[in-house]
Amino acid sequence: MRNSRTTLALSIAVAAALLPVGTSSAAAAAGSYNGLPNGTKQVKTLVIGIDGTRYDKLLTADAPNLKALIASGTTATSNLYANPLAPTLSGPGWSTIATGVWPDKHKVLDNAFTGARFDLYPDWASRLEAADPGNSTLVIGSWNPITANVFNGAADLRIPESENDAKTASDAADFLAHGNPDAVFLHFDEVDEAGHSYGGTSSQYLAAIHGVDGLVGQVMAGLKSRPGYASEDWLVVLTTDHGHTDAGGHGGNSANERQTWMVLNGRGYQAGAHRYDVKPVDIAPTVLKHQGAPIDPAWGLDGTPVDEIVPDAFDALRPTLQSRVDETGIASTVKGFTHTPPAGWSIDNSRMPSGGVTEWRGWAFATDEFWTAAQLGQSRETNVRARNVFAVADSDEWDDKTHGTGQFDSTLISPAYPVAGLSRGTLSFATDYKIDGPQTGDVYVVFDNGAPQLVKSYRADLNTVEHLNVTVPAGASTARFQFRYTGTNSAFWTVDQVAFTG
């Protein structure tokens, strides 16, 4: 939020003045260009961040360079978190992109960066340098906290540009054309400035997108002028940190503020494709993998390299999703829920009372844009670890319409997984379990046609990816898992990316 930024102006200016122009050994290295060491790799990455840019407005703007990258690459749209996880501000947004983890891990909750845990979750440039000091890493930021705070580690060269997008573009184009970086991050700020000053639906906002489009074109021209460009394997990523309200500003939990998107342009990314299962946390691991840096599971990254993200059975439901029935806060044009499970899955509503809000009677399958719109500000925006379509049991929303006697009580049942010959296995799934009243959540396993056996009970808030060990009895051939949720006008339980491995 701009007013939060300006309060930091003096401290950031001081911090920026103290930034190194590169490590002393790198600056003196043979083949360096203006303090940037000569890179060593044919695989290279350029990530371009365009602050505060709404995807819906990008599509209507005069932006031929950006749209050319969209047309020749894969686009992914999704939604950010919002409070109580973190507000939709630049500090949390860019830190999420740089580290590959959500704000509940990196702990950047505003633009002051107080309490940040970059020691546990460093930026991807620092991870590249740790994996191979021969990497040449460059960070250029129009918003000075990009170089002072977000990428505050081991990048070879960090250049703060003090809100000067034209200088950001000219410096980036120069280093790309005449230097030899391996991985570059650059940040443009004027679109966000226009959003704050004039609003997300203003002509000035569209003009700012047009302006940054020309700067992106300048940067891409510098990249393509490289003598070795034809033999290099460039991955170019465009992204943003948050959106804007129509009137201007961000930090809240409205759909327009939570808008985020990326474009991935390079080998292996389908031209003109559109994905809904890719998130901002996926950028850092995607860069690391492209640059050949091994990713240690012990790092606890929330993101996954994009080429490793596989749609699950729930995602296949997207074309069949329905528009609202009883809900009034959800736009009638938004299709985002169904009670029809994918093949092999089932829902047991035999304990559910009649009535209640149709959309949420028992377990449902929904998208973020549909489900969160049911009621903003009730923690549904924290469901960041789900991708695309997910399963949700929501006793709070269901209870908003008259229903029969009794509590919400529904069980989601998985397909039968083969377990013959196994002694143990692991059930994994992304989950967001939130309590606001009487509520239970229990996971059971059923081997063959036996009795359900409790795997884990949930009685406290939890937002994570679970990996639950399951002992397989001798002679068992199949295992089904049951997710039983009960609640009396409480909160919710989401489940996604369910998998069982031996």
pLDDT tens, residue by residue, 286-311: 999 999 999 999 999 999 999 999 99
Q: Is the pLDDT of residue 450 over 90?
A: yes
Angle (CA) 399 405 411, round 5° = 65
Q: Confidence band (pLDDT; 50, 70, 90) for 67?
A: very high
pLDDT at 20: 39
Average pLDDT over residues 261-278: 97
Mean pLDDT across the chain: 94
Q: pLDDT (tens digit, 9 = 90+) per residue, 165-186? A: 999 999 999 999 999 999 999 9
Average pLDDT over residues 271-293: 98
Which helix (H) or strand (E) is 409 found in, with range? strand 408-413
Instruction: Delimit the CATH 2.60.120.260 region(s) of the chain.
Output: 315-501
pLDDT at 468: 98
Helices (H) and strands (E) in the chain, counts: 16, 20
Q: Is the pLDDT of residue 15 over 80?
A: no
Q: Is the pLDDT of residue 18 over 50?
A: no
261 touches 240 (CB < 8 A): yes
Which helix (H) or strand (E) is 58 found in, with range? helix 55-60
Q: Crossing angle of helices 90-99/124-131, nearest 10°?
A: 20
Q: Is the pLDDT of residue 2 over 60?
A: no
Q: Confidence band (pLDDT; 50, 70, 90) for 153?
A: confident
145 touches 3 (CB < 8 A): no
Average pLDDT over residues 194-207: 98
CA 182, CA 185: separation in Å to the nearest integer? Answer: 10
Collapse the DSSP code of 365 into the 3-class scheme (helix H, G, I; strand E, B; otherwise coil) and give the result: strand
Instruction: Indicate the burial class of 318 (C-beta count within 10 angstroms; 0-12, 13-18, 19 or more).
Output: middle
pLDDT at 427: 98
User: In the CATH scheme, what is the code of domain 315-501?
Assistant: 2.60.120.260
pLDDT at 376: 94
Q: pLDDT (tens digit, 9 = 90+) per residue, 76-124? A: 999 999 999 999 999 999 999 999 999 999 999 999 999 999 999 999 9
- The owner of tokens 């700067």 is 215
416 touches 480 (CB < 8 A): yes
Q: Crossing angle of helices 165-178/203-224, nearest 10°?
A: 20
Collapse the DSSP code of 106 into the 3-class scheme (helix H, G, I; strand E, B; otherwise coil) and give the result: helix
Instruction: Delimit the CATH 3.40.720.10 region(s) of the chain.
Output: 2-18+42-308
Tokens standing for residue 462: 């939890």
CA 382, CA 372: separation in Å to the nearest integer? Answer: 10
Domain 2-18+42-308 in CATH 3.40.720.10? The answer is yes
pLDDT at 7: 34
DSSP string of 261-304, one letter each residue = EEEEESTTPPTT-EESS--GGGHHHHHHHHTTPPPPGGG--S--
Contacts of 61 (CB under 8 A, 6+ apart): 206, 209, 210, 213
Least confident segment among 2-16, 149-163, 307-321, 437-451: 2-16
Q: Is the pLDDT of residue 5 over 70?
A: no
Q: Is the pLDDT of residue 220 over 70?
A: yes
Of 99, 124, 126, 383, which Cα lies nearest the Cα of 241?
A: 99
Strand partners, 447: 479
Q: Confidence band (pLDDT; 50, 70, 90) for 259?
A: very high
pLDDT at 29: 42
- The owner of tokens 């695309």 is 388
Average pLDDT over residues 215-230: 97
Burial 381-405 (b: 16+ CB within 10 A, else e): bbbbbbbbbbbbbbbbbbbbeebee
Q: pLDDT (tens digit, 9 = 90+) per residue, 341-373? A: 999 999 999 999 999 999 999 999 999 999 999
Please report, rounded to a whole number, the percentage of residues in the chain having pLDDT higher than 70: 94
Q: pLDDT (tens digit, 9 = 90+) per residue, 374-426? A: 999 999 999 999 999 999 999 999 999 999 999 999 999 999 999 999 999 99
Q: Is the pLDDT of residue 1 over 60?
A: no
Burial 221-230 (b: 16+ CB within 10 A, else e): ebbeebeeee
Q: What are phi and psi of 501, to 5 degrees?
A: -125, 145
Q: Confidence band (pLDDT; 50, 70, 90) for 11?
A: very low
Q: Is the pLDDT of residue 27 over 80?
A: no
Of 43, 39, 40, which Cα lies nearest the Cα of 233?
A: 43
